[in-house]
Structure 1
Amino acid sequence: MIINNERIIRIREVLEYRQEDLLLILDNIHDPHNASAILRSADAFGIDSSHFLYTQDEQLELSDGVSGHTLKWSNISTYDSTTELMKIMRTRKIPVVATVIGENAKSYEKRDWTLPAAIVFGNEQNGCSDEILKIADELITIPMLGFAQSLNVSVAAAIIFSEIRRQREKKGMYKKNWSKRKQEWLDYWIEREYASRLRRKLPKTPKL
């Protein structure tokens, strides 16, 4: 048998914990190590899918090593238009929550993360783009107590994801759940494993 039952059970278990109403948006992140580290945290905390927006920079070459070899299990899509990306968020009725630096935003700890969210992290120099800030439904920040006014974007993501998990675990939202969409991803991942090992054509990726 090319894929043993334990492997299939593990793949299904990971999918069961994925939170379908939690999405990640990376707004013109240009450091591949930061992007890969964020994807690793997203996988660890059950973020459903990751959406890369490139309106300023070219697409990145992500590092599978930095991501803890989670790239192949990450549901990733890329966009070169903010409008195109926002159409998807509006269709799925998921609020856009942009991370910013400053006192005019809500502390990430005060946000109710049991509610749906598409969390946006901006690039390392300029933060979220003006386009994103104009259309964001909410702004959140990580309050700083020292001389530093910001954190590395991958560190900030891990902190916020940890709070999301804390709130959702308290509400029992990580209990095993299944859906037609998750079944499609399970079928895809298993078929891809077979195709890769038998050197066959890879299956078509399911819709995000």
Structure 2
Amino acid sequence: MTPERLQKLHDTLNRRQPDLTVLMDDVHKSHNLSAVMRTADAVGIQDIHAVSPDRSVQRYRIMSGGSRKWVATHIHPDIPTAADKLKASGHRIVAAHFSPRARDFREVDYTRPTALLLGNELSGVSEQGSALADEHVIIPMLGMVASLNVSVAAALILYEAQRQRLAAGLYEHCRLPPERYRQLLFEWAYPRIARYCRDKRLPYPPLDEHGLMQEAPGTRVD
């Protein structure tokens, strides 16, 4: 672990936004999943959510390349289950969905705890998802086509969220809970050992200030 690598990990974790996330409503094309995950990482999102009744998202996550190492994906069987979980944790659901109550995506306050709901490639946000959303937003279209690719729409909206959060100073201090921070730091720094510990149900060894592993009391990882 070089000092430069350790500093990069700390800098990234210090900018993570635990109250900003994405909920994909049966988005299933691998290139879209990959692109959304990459954008999520780029704007400081740590956890994303996906409704995938057949769990196809789990099979496609590998297509996201390097991004899957840095962003956690939580899979839900249906949209009500996902929405209930997010709302219980204080998130407001903002759906990218054309409707009579939809507003320009730039008019929404993304400094509040927000989950961006994205619909699938064929039919968009489901009827259930639309009804469960707290707000609907649209991206103004001035050409002949009626909508953007789901991953492009996600990038535009998430970068607006990033712009607002930067202006509000939300990237200036660490916002992850300490235990979550330590967990992620270890998993990012030592992914193979983290996987070994999870398989064996062992606690992660603590790290010193240089990012080097210290042997946990009563635990030895060879």
Task: Report TM bin, short chain.
Answer: 0.7 to 0.9
Q: Distance in 2 between matches of 1:21 and 1:69?
A: 23
- Residue 34 of structure 2 is matched in structure 1 by 36
Structure 2 matches for 1:1-208, cutoff 5 A? 3-55=1-53, 58-60=55-57, 61-62=59-60, 64=62, 67=64, 69-102=66-99, 104-178=101-175, 179-180=177-178, 181-195=180-194, 200=196, 202=198
* Alpha carbons of structure 1 residues 32 and 91: separation in structure 2 relative to 1, 3 Å: same
Q: Distance in 1 between matches of 2:183 and 2:84?
A: 23
Q: Are the aligned partners of 1:33 and 1:63 in contact in 2 as well (CA < 8 Å)? A: no
Q: Distance in 2 between matches of 1:201 and 1:174?
A: 31
Q: Distance in 2 between matches of 1:16 and 1:64?
A: 26
Q: What is the TM-score with the length of structure 1 in the denominator?
A: 0.85
Per-residue displacement from partner, 1:122-176 (whole Å, max 9, x unpaired)? 0011001111111111111111111111001111111111111111111111113
Q: Distance in 2 between matches of 1:41 and 1:69?
A: 12
Q: Distance in 2 between matches of 1:104 and 1:193?
A: 48
User: Where does the alignment leave 5 or more consecutive residues of structure 2 unmatched?
Assistant: 202-222
Q: Which stretch has the larger CA shift, 151-160 or 179-188?
A: 179-188
User: Where does the alignment leave 5 or more consecutive residues of structure 1 unmatched?
Assistant: none
Q: Distance in 2 between matches of 1:39 and 1:11?
A: 18
Shift of 1:190: 2.9
Q: Equivalent residue of 1:38, what SS?
A: helix
Q: % of aligned pairs identical? A: 33
Q: Distance in 1 between matches of 2:158 and 2:61?
A: 21
Shift of 1:21: 0.7
Q: Which stretch has the larger CA shift, 93-102 or 177-186?
A: 177-186
Shift of 1:4: 2.8
Corresponding letter in the other structure for 1:49 = D
Q: Distance in 2 between matches of 1:71 and 1:85?
A: 20
Q: Distance in 2 between matches of 1:10 and 1:170?
A: 22
Shift of 1:82: 2.3
Q: Distance in 1 between matches of 2:13 and 2:174?
A: 9
* Alpha carbons of structure 1 residues 128 and 73: separation in structure 2 relative to 1, 3 Å: same
Q: Are the aligned partners of 2:187 and 2:194 in contact in 1 as well (CA < 8 Å)? A: no
Shift of 1:201: 5.2
Q: Are the aligned partners of 1:101 and 1:149 in contact in 2 as well (CA < 8 Å)? A: no
Q: Equivalent residue of 2:60, what SS?
A: coil
Shift of 1:191: 4.0
* Alpha carbons of structure 1 residues 23 and 195: separation in structure 2 relative to 1, 3 Å: closer
Q: Which stretch has the larger CA shift, 15-24 or 68-77?
A: 68-77
- Residue 214 of structure 2 is matched in structure 1 by none
Q: Are the aligned partners of 1:101 and 1:150 in contact in 2 as well (CA < 8 Å)? A: no
